Amino acid sequence: MKFGVVTFPGSNCDEDMAQAVESLTQRPVERLWHKEHDLRGCDMVLLPGGFSYGDYLRSGAIARFSPIMQEVAQHAKRGGLVFGVCNGFQVLCEAGLLPGALLHNEGRKFVCRNTWIRPATFNTPLTAGLKSKPLLIPIAHGEGRYHADGETLKALNEEDRVLFHYCDAEGWLKEESNPNGSVENIAGVCNEGRNVFGMMPHPERAADERLGNTAGRQLFESLLQAAMA
């Protein structure tokens, strides 16, 4: 299993993501520059958080046109694994690899804090190894409010493609536990093929004992177990 992390101009969580995966696998992770046309044989591509192209147009809207995204789209079409976090989630939505859109937070303020999320499905490589209990994962975003039209939401729910919901420490979905106003407290979704995943919270920021939180490591372990099965 070979992992690759894409860096766009303005990415700032690429090394965090790479180090989290390297720590888990004990193998080097390919650093993929946005202008490249080669995924270098990576089985899984990770799109990290940050502010690609400064978010000058709309978060992820310019990054979707980077040359590497043509390769990512083809990789996903072949069934390859793709995982986007925060800005990476925005890029995947802008590129049409995931449904919906990420809008400005309610109140239009940047939010940075630990947030509880609850797995909504165990029928994906990202969540198959998780338990049905809330995970405390950091968030840091200004445009993290997930939005989708009624038809898309219906399909996501009926097809079991919502990955996570924002919740309280006991797992209850409450309005006050929704940090950005996302529709139905949605914190992450996947595509129809269940091989492309996106989430707003940052599991790579909760994957090291030195940070006092290893809850995010469970997601990467789930991915690795599923890929090696």
pLDDT of res. 229: 65
Would you give the end-to-end CA distance of the chain in angstroms? 11
Catalytic choice (13, 42, 86, 167): 86
Going residue by residue through the chain, which has 229 residues, state the pLDDT in tens, using 9 for 90 and above: 899 999 999 999 999 999 999 999 888 899 999 999 999 999 999 999 999 999 888 899 999 999 999 999 999 999 999 999 999 999 999 999 999 999 999 989 999 999 999 999 999 999 999 999 999 999 999 999 999 999 999 999 999 999 999 999 999 999 999 999 999 999 999 999 999 999 999 999 999 998 899 999 999 999 888 777 6
What is the distance between the alpha carbons of residues 89 and 200, in angstroms, rounded to a whole number? 7
What distance in Å separates the CA atoms of residue 216 and residue 23, rounded to the nearest whole number? 13
Within 10 angstroms of residue 107's Cβ, the number of other Cβ atoms is: 10
Bridge partners, residue 118, by sequence: 165
Q: Is 113 helix (H, G, I), strand (E, B) or coil?
A: strand
* Residue 86 a catalytic site member: yes
Structure token digits, residue 202: 């940052």
Count up the domains in the chain and report the number.
1
Can 170 be counted among the known catalytic residues? Answer: no
- Determine which one of 34, 75, 141, 202 is catalytic: 202
Give the residue from 100, 42, 104 showing the smallest Cα distance to 74. 42
Tokens of 184: 């139905």
- Residue 178 sits in a domain of what CATH number? 3.40.50.880
Q: Is 170 helix (H, G, I), strand (E, B) or coil?
A: coil
* pLDDT value of position 28: 87
Whole-model pTM above 0.85? yes
Look up the domain containing 15 and give its range.
Answer: 3-228
